[in-house]
């Protein structure tokens, strides 16, 4: 039987968070036989070892670890009632180990003990531009970049202050994907093309589809951006 999984996130090689489309947010935890089964969620998930995000349609799981038996336990996220929406679209772990959840109705930070929510307000321009969170990435200056269905935002992790992107460049644009390259620039995949923002020079470069140029991006909407270990950027544009 297939289950639609929107995103999987692996924390410390022990806990996997996944987002079923219909059943809210759950955590899948596995551990070796005779491994302490009482390892707390706080101790496990706040240690940053490595982080993995995978998108796929059909999910099946068969695990074998170093020839030892593996126990699986699927648990509902204990703070589900504190999230502004049951639809969790993005999961991101920052450098300090905090988990950030992008939901259909706001952004949340989980510190292992409690949830803090960030939402938009039409009467306050210094909050999120939109509550429908599509993408999250962290730069080298302790900022989180948050892409929404309508615009891009920057969150200072020290002050927790949110600033919509300058010049209203992306106002109304769907921010599908975000990535930070080796130079610290933020790459932004939107419904209208690809952008590169230099955080040091505060300059923005736009990459658009040009039918006469075979080296231009092959589509108008960029759905996903990924940087590999050799600092190459991969993207998945949507052709018309």
Give the lowest-confidence range in 28-42, 65-79, 180-194, 199-213: 28-42
Tokens 């620039």 sit at which residue? Answer: 185
166 φ/ψ angles, rounded to the nearest 5 degrees: -60, 155
Per-residue confidence (pLDDT) for residue 55, from 0 to 100: 31
Tell me the CATH architecture of domain 86-238.
7 Propeller (2.130)
Tens-digit pLDDT profile for residues 146-159? 999 999 999 999 99
* pTM to 2 decimal places: 0.75
Per-residue confidence (pLDDT) for residue 75, from 0 to 100: 73
Per-residue confidence (pLDDT) for residue 68, from 0 to 100: 56
Q: How many residues does the chain have?
A: 240
Tens-digit pLDDT profile for residues 85-131? 888 889 999 999 899 999 999 999 999 889 999 999 988 888 999 99
Per-residue confidence (pLDDT) for residue 123, from 0 to 100: 87
User: Whole-number mean pLDDT of the chain?
Assistant: 76
Per-residue confidence (pLDDT) for residue 16, from 0 to 100: 59
Tokens 């999910």 sit at which residue? Answer: 59
The residues, ordered by sequence, that sit 6+ positions from 193 with a Cβ below 8 Å of its Cβ are 206, 207, 208, 209, 217, 220, 221, 222
Tens-digit pLDDT profile for residues 225-239? 988 888 898 988 776
Domain ranges of the chain: 86-238
């Amino acid at each position: 039987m297939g289950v639609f999984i929107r995103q999987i996130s692996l924390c410390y090689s022990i806990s996997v968070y996944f987002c079923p489309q219909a059943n809210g947010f759950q955590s899948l935890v596995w551990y070796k036989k005779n491994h302490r089964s009482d390892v707390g969620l706080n101790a496990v998930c706040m240690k940053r070892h490595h982080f993995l995000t995978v998108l796929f349609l059909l999910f099946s799981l068969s695990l074998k670890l170093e020839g030892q038996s593996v126990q699986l336990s699927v648990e509902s996220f204990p703070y589900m009632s504190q999230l502004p929406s049951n639809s969790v679209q993005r999961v991101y772990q920052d450098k300090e180990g905090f988990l950030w959840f992008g939901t259909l109705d706001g952004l949340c930070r989980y510190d292992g003990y409690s949830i803090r929510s960030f939402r938009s307000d039409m009467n306050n321009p210094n909050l999120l531009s939109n509550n429908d969170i599509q993408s999250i990435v962290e730069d080298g200056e302790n900022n989180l970049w948050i892409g929404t269905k309508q615009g891009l935002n920057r969150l200072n992790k020290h002050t927790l202050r949110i600033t919509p992107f300058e010049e209203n460049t992306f106002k109304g644009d769907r921010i599908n994907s975000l990535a930070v390259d080796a130079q610290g620039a933020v790459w932004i995949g939107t419904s209208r093309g690809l952008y590169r923002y230099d955080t040091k020079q505060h300059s923005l470069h736009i990459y658009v589809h040009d039918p006469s140029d075979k080296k231009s991006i092959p589509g108008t909407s960029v759905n996903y951006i990924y940087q590999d270990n050799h600092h190459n950027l991969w993207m998945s544009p949507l052709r018309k």
